[in-house]
Amino acid sequence: MQKSIKSGFLFFVGLLLVFSCQLGPTENYAKENWASYLGDKGTTHYSLLDQINKENVRQLQKVWEFDNGEASAKNRSMIQCNPLIIDGILYGTTASLKVFALDAATGQKKWMFEPDKDTVITKGLNRGLAYWEKDDVKKIFYASGEHLFALDPNTGKLLTSFGNAGVVDLTKGLGREVDGFRYHMNTPGVIFKDLYIVGGKVSETIKPIPGHIRAYDVHTGEIKWIFHTIPHPVEYGYDTWPKDAYLKSGGANVWTGFSLDEEREIVFAPTGSPSFDFYGGDRIGANLFGNSIIALDANTGKRIWHYQTVHHDLWDRDLPSPPVLVTIEREGQKIYILAQTTKMGLLFVLDRETGQPIYPIEEIEVPTSNLEGEETWPTQPIPTVYPPFSRQRLTIEDLAIRTDDSSTEANKVWNESIYSGMYDPPSVEGSLNFPGYYGGGEWGGPGVDPTTGILYVNSNNFPWKPKLEPSVAESPGRNIYNMYCQACHGSELEGSQMFGGVPALKNVKDSLSISEMQKIITEGKGVMPAFRELQKQEIDKLTAFLARQEKDTMSEKSEWPYPYTFGGHGRVNMEDGLPMIKPPWGQLTAIDLNEAKIKWQIPLGNYDSLNIPGHPITGTPNYGGPIVTKGGLLFIAATADNKIRAFDKETGEKLWEADLPTSGVATPATYSVNGKQYVVIACGGGREGAKSGDSYVAFALP
């Protein structure tokens, strides 16, 4: 009898293990909670909840809204936070980067944390938080600018045993002096045992910081290991850079977050491009570990393998999101893989343990640069079997036809531009970049159903036309503007489409005093970071230039170290404000990772103004990812038309949509409290003409 009971117990355990293997990274998380950024440490965006399903989703209704009331009046703030929900408490961040806890069933505030005003905070964005728990001890980690905070989840108070009275300065411990430089941890890291593994966002132009990956002790804030993404002498990859690059180059940073295979104790780090983004004459070589998926031993930070998706990047083609971890079947064999989406709309699928591609990836020849001192890498990798999820090439047949004026204008731009494909190098003449700087895929990242191996990714399709300009000595204030402001605000102070719309500064003197300009430059505002590296005399020169009050108009030597400056990000829109090409401009795609085939693909979002006879659904620019549920649904907001939608994950059919107070430029979350399932989305707006907001909206069944 005892033997029979023991055998039955072992059989039951075996069934649980089999089921857990099918679930992959979700297995360690109670289905009621959304306990990690993007759902779990494999960043699958997946939930086991199924109370809301295909049969009843049309009954969803808004049940609460939390608005902290700090949205920018000039629509310059956003929220991109994917909140955590743990044991009935929702943790998120506001438009002004405060942290709060809410009753997840009612939206009632429990506490709010605001950093000490004496702590210098770099303005910017925050996409989420991290949670650690062991033996009934709990901690919340969040970052604002260059500061990492440890909080008590029950009270919102700083945990003073961590770092310096609860705070760690992330500019310390990078191996070289970067005090006063820009560093911004915009996306949460990942918790592994008692380590918090983090990356950050760094300058992409002048005074760059290396994007090294670090693991901090969750108790003390001590750095336990560091991986040099710009290799030091004798380290692997050192010979892919100039010899002194580790002393002065920057970038190759993880600004998108990590995924973690806890069973294999491997952390996967997707890196961005080296700095300066658009000219690499000072960094000749392949530039490992820029634009790479790096597999590290999570205990020690030692490299296990890497795969570089762009060699010697000149196109700002950062890996935009963490890879998703899932198990697929090929020829009857289970394979533990990661799937990495890219700004190019390409999908890289690799064996998780070895880094080997599941199907061949070919190195294709690409055009060479004619810029002084530049040496483009001769080839770039292209997957051969897994299909791209966004449009890859433009032809004259793709140009806009919605009106005669838009067609004429689009043809003019086409005829005046250099374009042969996605790897045309930057030029003084102006080369079309497609898919653009915002994808293809973006930071919201893909979701995946671990029970089917279907990956879901939203993407953008619109061209940009960047230009490089010869660097010349100009007036003192103009030189400073060229170094720090031009990439976003444009060479003619005309503004740009970066971050959904960067304001023009041509007439800034009419709306801001010099003292107000100086305050914004030193403290930041909205998504604009603080420029702490500028000295007072530099700020005086810059504001004098912006106010058209420069006394010294004589040329002086610029500190800009490159022979070219970046003329600014220019998305190619026509007079009507819409792209120069035909729709769809935003898409949602389901890809069967087992079969390496697109299952379905639909436009995502719509500009109602173009609901004209014979015109297709447009799709819109979209930022923020999907979530996928056991209930057969995919939820996503992200679009410029201020809606959240639910789709049948099998077919792509739209089953439900609801209006939001402004655009939900974030990834939703789903959770359960007292047996009731909720879906919540941060509504921060601030992009694509949407007003800024500071609210979270939750939906549930009646």
Instruction: Confirm if 324 and 338 have CB atoms less than 8 A apart.
Output: yes
User: The sheet that has 99-103: what strands, in order across it?
Assistant: 84-86, 89-93, 99-103, 109-113
- Report residue 123's pLDDT band, with 50, 70 and 90 as the boundaries: low
- Report residue 609's pLDDT band, with 50, 70 and 90 as the boundaries: confident
Structural domains of the chain, with CATH: 472-559 (1.10.760.10)
Place of tokens 């992959």: 24
DSSP one-letter code for 37: G
SS3 486: helix
Helix/strand/coil (H/E/C) assignment for every residue in 202-237: ECCCCCCCECCEEEEECCCCCEEEEECCCCCCCCCC
- pLDDT of 31 reads 84
Question: Distances in Å between the alpha carbon of 411 and those of 406, 452, 572, 614?
Answer: 9, 44, 12, 21
- Virtual CA dihedral for 252, 185, 295, 361, nearest 10 degrees? -50
SS3 55: coil
Q: Please determine, for residue 509, whether its predicted confidence score (pLDDT) is greater than 60.
A: yes
- Report residue 570's pLDDT band, with 50, 70 and 90 as the boundaries: confident
Place of tokens 């930022």: 623
The candidate with the shortest Cα–Cα distance to 391, out of 459, 309, 320, is 459
Average pLDDT over all residues of the chain: 89
- Report residue 118's pLDDT band, with 50, 70 and 90 as the boundaries: low
Cα angle value 16/21/24 (rounded, 5°): 125
- pLDDT of 13 reads 37
The continuous run of DSSP H or E covering 670 comes out as strand 669-673
Q: Is the peptide bond before 100 cis (omega within 30 degrees of 0)?
A: no
- pLDDT of 595 reads 97
Q: Please determine, for residue 264, whether its predicted confidence score (pLDDT) is greater than 60.
A: yes
As a whole number of angstroms, the distance between CA 128 and CA 111 comes to: 17
As a whole number of angstroms, the distance between CA 143 and CA 120 comes to: 12
Instruction: Confirm if 362 and 319 have CB atoms less than 8 A apart.
Output: no
Across the range 57-65, mean pLDDT stands at 98
- Report residue 336's pLDDT band, with 50, 70 and 90 as the boundaries: very high
- pLDDT of 615 reads 75
- How large a percentage of the chain has pLDDT more than 90? 72
- Report residue 117's pLDDT band, with 50, 70 and 90 as the boundaries: low
pLDDT tens, position by position, 642-670: 999 999 999 999 999 999 999 999 999 99
pLDDT tens, position by position, 353-377: 999 999 999 999 999 999 999 999 9
**136 Cβ contact partners less than 8 Å away, ≥ 6 residues apart:** none
Place of tokens 């700002």: 316
Q: Which carries the bigger pLDDT value, residue 121 or residue 146? A: 146
**465 Cβ contact partners less than 8 Å away, ≥ 6 residues apart:** 413, 417, 430, 431, 432, 433, 570, 572
**Burial of 599 from C-beta contacts in 10 A (0-12 / 13-18 / 19+):** middle
As a whole number of angstroms, the distance between CA 501 and CA 285 comes to: 34
In total, the chain counts a number of residues equal to 702
- Beta bridge partners, 566, equal 468
pLDDT tens, position by position, 410-450: 999 999 999 999 999 999 988 899 998 888 999 999 999 99
Q: Which carries the bigger pLDDT value, residue 330 or residue 9? A: 330
What region does 294 belong to: left with phi over 0, alpha with psi -120 to 50, or beta? beta
- Report residue 16's pLDDT band, with 50, 70 and 90 as the boundaries: very low
Whole-model pTM: value is 0.89
